[in-house]
Amino acid sequence: MAVKGADRHLILAAFERRLKNSREDELETALEEINKIAAFRLAEL
């Protein structure tokens, strides 16, 4: 999960919501989060 800008409560709530995801939904969500992390890192360069 891209945690930049999120506090502990938001992170834990997101994980709890994601536990209900189907395999396909979780894969899509995970890829979206990877893209966010990559964008954060590129913006820092």
pLDDT for residue 20: 93
Domain that holds residue 24: 8-44
pLDDT for residue 1: 86
- The structural domain count of the chain equals 1
**Cα(16)–Cα(37) distance, rounded to whole angstroms?**
20
Alpha helices in 1-45 (DSSP H): 8-18, 23-44
Is residue 1 a part of any domain in this protein? no
Instruction: List, run by run, the mean pLDDT of 10-residue segments along the chain (45 residues).
Output: 91 94 95 95 95
* Tokens 């590129």, located at residue: 42
Closest CA to 14 of 28, 3, 27, 25: 3
Is residue 20 a part of any domain in this protein? yes
Tell me the pTM.
0.75
Is residue 32 a part of any domain in this protein? yes
pLDDT for residue 38: 96
Closest CA to 4 of 36, 43, 35, 42: 36
